[in-house]
Amino acid sequence: MKLTEKRFKYTFFTSIFVGLAAHLFALTNVLQNYDNISQTPVGVGTGVTSGRWVIELLSQLHIKYGVNYNIPMVNGLIAIFLLSVSVCLIIDVLNIQSVPLCCVFAGIFISFPVVTSSMFFMYVVEYNSLAAFLAVLAVWVARKYHWIGLVGGTLCLAVSLGIYQAYLPMTASLFVILLLKEVLSGKSRWLTVLCRGVLDLFTMILGFAAYYGCMKWNLAKHGAELSDYQGINNMGNISLRSLPGLLKRAVGDIVKMPFIDYYGISSTVVVRIAIVILAIISFVGIVYLLWAKKARVSLILECILLCMIFPLAVNGITIMCSESEIYTMMVYGSVFIFLVPVMVMDLIVQNADVKINKLSRRKLYLYGRNSVAALLILVTVQYVWLSNGNYMAMYYNTEQTKAYLSSMLTQVRMTEGFNTSLSWAFIGKVSDETFHNQWKDSNKFHYGGNGVTEEKPLVNYYSRKSWFWHYMGYVPNLVDNDQVKELRKDPYVKNMPCYPDYGSIAIYKDTVIIKLSD
């Protein structure tokens, strides 16, 4: 891989440019969701108990050297850089020669909704991007260095999973596309492709085994167990009875993508239409290459099999997390549906030995390439727009939450008998009908994790105390859950009105009572 090659330079700088267009708002503003506020000014979130043993190691380094500050500009730029290098690795391992196609895929890769969703968790975005980079690097190393690459690919994948498990489908999808390209190029026998596929699968199995072994060792070292939050302790535990349904769902979600909103990726009509047209172009291109190469039945069957496996690889997160909620940040593997038409169009012109008039081939390539490039540019523009819309929604949500809790603190301080030594008790959850974010009503700006479209507002999350701490400089001492349960049964508290009505805040039993709901 020569970094000075034109295609790599253009790909890298296109990714940087589009990345800034899509994410600069997040880099230059402090946008909060339910987790980000609690990991300010430092923190990396849950580690080994979530199976993220590499995060645990990194957090220990940060405690020692004090480097992990939640600084949007720094964290965001590191993330964009890592993803820009990742897309160059993808272009190299697939040997995509067309500079325009390299650039348009770079735009998709960096503006993809998953990247935006990752930016919502700014305190850990650089590590999630490192996980994506390593997931791609695992394929690059495995394919570039063959048997020696098996070890390197295994290690890269194990570390990637140790940072964020949801990017395993990226590795699987890229392997499938590489196998598909080998079939379509006609330069490999069916048995060679099969053996390579087995080796790719073996690399992923070894990578997962290495990750699992390291995770178990770290759990034992810390005397911890996997958390049951979102079914993390059951990740990958699949019964034979449920497998057919999971496979059907994994394939069905990808097939239905043009007709549904797939975790924000197909949330607009423009993107859905583009996906349909790109799928048609890919299909026609694949059939054309098989026909022009006069592929044998064995290779045609392999091609069909790989096309059937591809949706499973792309949406493998559905199978991995059968018992947990899936949201936008977890589906980065689906970005590779936009890579297939790029690979197919580029392969058409690379095959100089195709038995067809060269001028006709050139025309077909130009029409196909230009159509793919135009559609991907259109999708990129949509994603840049959607990213900025999501960031705007988060901005107003942050401001409203801050204002709401600031007003609450003012009222607490004005309550008769208040002093700073009193503990606070929040009774119930905020159910104030006058407290509403209009961005919540949008059916476009709802990427998972933005804290706007969730069922409950940010004021009702576990991180409520952090808002008082960071924005008001006040740290209330909260009573424990058992005391809250006892107070909730108290007749005096039961008769109190709900916030923000007058009388919903009171000093009772040497405690600040804030009744949010019955």
In this prediction, residues 428-449 reach a mean pLDDT of 82
pLDDT at 237 over 90: no
- Mark whether 506 and 375 lie in a shared domain: no
pLDDT at 357 over 80: no
Residue 369: its pLDDT value, please? 83
Contact 271, 265 (CB under 8 A): yes
For residue 109 the two structure tokens come to 């890769």
- Cα 203 to chain centroid, rounded: 23
Q: DSSP letter string over 196-258?
A: HHHHHHHHHHHHHHHHHHHHHHHHHHHT-----GGGGGGTT---TTTHHHHHHHHHHHHHTGG
- Mark whether 372 and 456 lie in a shared domain: no
Pick the last residue of a domain from 392, 419, 450: 392
334 falls in which pLDDT band (50, 70, 90)? very high
Q: Return d(Cα 217, Cα 48) in angstroms, integer.
A: 10
511 backbone dihedrals φ, ψ, rounded to 5°: -140, 140
Q: Return d(Cα 417, Cα 512) in angstroms, integer.
A: 9
The enclosing H or E element of 426 equals strand 423-427
- Mark whether 146 and 225 lie in a shared domain: yes
Residue 256: its pLDDT value, please? 87
pLDDT at 175 over 90: yes
Dihedral sign for Cα atoms in the order 167, 169, 172, 176: negative
- Mark whether 476 and 355 lie in a shared domain: no
Helices H / strands E in the chain, number of each: 18, 3
Beta bridge partners of 512: 424, 507
Please count the structural domains in the chain: 2
pLDDT at 231 over 60: no
Distances 253 to 247, 272, 315, 467, 497 between C-alpha atoms, Å: 10, 13, 8, 38, 46
Per-residue pLDDT tens digits for 283-324: 998 998 888 777 788 888 988 999 999 999 999 888 877 667
161 falls in which pLDDT band (50, 70, 90)? very high
Contact 474, 482 (CB under 8 A): no
Residue 454: its pLDDT value, please? 67
- Mark whether 482 and 362 lie in a shared domain: no
Per-residue pLDDT tens digits for 16-67: 999 999 999 999 999 999 888 988 887 777 777 777 888 878 877 776 776 6
Residues in the chain, total? 518
Per-residue pLDDT tens digits for 391-425: 999 999 999 999 999 999 999 999 999 999 999 99
Please write down the long-range contacts of 347-354, taking CB distance under 8 Å and 24 or more positions apart. Answer: 347/181, 347/184, 347/185, 347/285, 347/289, 348/285, 348/288, 348/289, 349/97, 349/98, 350/95, 350/97, 350/185, 351/185, 351/186, 351/289, 351/292, 351/293, 354/289, 354/292, 354/293
In this prediction, residues 439-455 reach a mean pLDDT of 77
Please write down the long-range contacts of 214-219, taking CB distance under 8 Å and 24 or more positions apart. Answer: 214/53, 214/158, 214/162, 215/48, 215/51, 215/53, 215/162, 218/48, 218/53, 218/56, 219/48, 219/49, 219/53
With b meaning 16 or more CB within 10 Å and e meaning fewer, what string describes 425-450?
bbbbebebeeeebebeebebbbbbbb
pLDDT at 354 over 60: no
Helix ranges restricted to H, 267-357? 269-292, 297-314, 317-320, 339-350
Q: Percent helix, strand and coil across the chain, each rounded to 5?
A: 70, 5, 30
Please choose, from the candidates 123, 116, 118, 128, the residue with its C-alpha nearest in 3D space to the C-alpha of residue 23.
Answer: 116
Of 179-183, 226-230, 327-331, give the range with the top mean pLDDT: 179-183
Question: Percentage of residues in the chain with pLDDT exceeding 90?
Answer: 55
pLDDT at 253 over 80: yes
- Mark whether 310 and 440 lie in a shared domain: no
In a domain, 363, yes or no: yes
CB atoms within 10 A of CB 266: 22
For residue 267 the two structure tokens come to 């949330």
CB atoms within 10 A of CB 66: 9
The enclosing H or E element of 125 equals helix 125-144
41 backbone dihedrals φ, ψ, rounded to 5°: -85, -15
Q: How does the average pLDDT of the chain come out, rounded?
A: 88
Q: What is the pTM of this model?
A: 0.92
Residue 136: its pLDDT value, please? 97
In a domain, 224, yes or no: yes
The enclosing H or E element of 512 equals strand 511-515
Dihedral sign for Cα atoms in the order 301, 297, 337, 77: positive
- Mark whether 285 and 423 lie in a shared domain: no
For residue 253 the two structure tokens come to 């979600």
Pick the last residue of a domain from 341, 376, 392: 392
Q: Return d(Cα 93, Cα 144) in angstroms, integer.
A: 8
Per-residue pLDDT tens digits for 54-76: 887 887 777 677 667 889 999 99
Q: Return d(Cα 74, Cα 126) in angstroms, integer.
A: 9
Distances 388 to 116, 120, 332, 451 between C-alpha atoms, Å: 9, 12, 19, 15
In a domain, 247, yes or no: no
For residue 20 the two structure tokens come to 């800034």
In a domain, 488, yes or no: yes
Residue 317: its pLDDT value, please? 85
Contact 405, 459 (CB under 8 A): yes
Do the strands 423-427 and 511-515 form a parallel or antiparallel pair, or are they unpaired? Answer: parallel
222 falls in which pLDDT band (50, 70, 90)? confident
Distances 96 to 196, 205, 242, 279, 297 between C-alpha atoms, Å: 20, 28, 39, 19, 27
Pick the last residue of a domain from 374, 392, 410: 392
- Mark whether 372 and 444 lie in a shared domain: no
Please choose, from the candidates 396, 498, 497, 391, the residue with its C-alpha nearest in 3D space to the C-alpha of residue 438.
Answer: 396
In a domain, 156, yes or no: yes
Per-residue pLDDT tens digits for 116-159: 999 999 999 999 999 999 999 999 999 998 788 899 999 999 99
Question: Percentage of residues in the chain with pLDDT exceeding 70?
Answer: 92
Q: If 0-12 CB within 10 Å is exposed, 13-18 middle and 19+ buried, where does residue 108 land?
A: buried
pLDDT at 337 over 60: yes
In this prediction, residues 215-223 reach a mean pLDDT of 83
In a domain, 39, yes or no: yes
- Mark whether 152 and 217 lie in a shared domain: yes
- Mark whether 348 and 407 lie in a shared domain: no
In a domain, 161, yes or no: yes
- Mark whether 405 and 259 lie in a shared domain: no
- Mark whether 301 and 422 lie in a shared domain: no
In a domain, 248, yes or no: no
337 vs 236 pLDDT, higher one: 337
Q: If 0-12 CB within 10 Å is exposed, 13-18 middle and 19+ buried, where does residue 310 land?
A: buried
Whole domain around residue 442: which residue ranges? 395-515
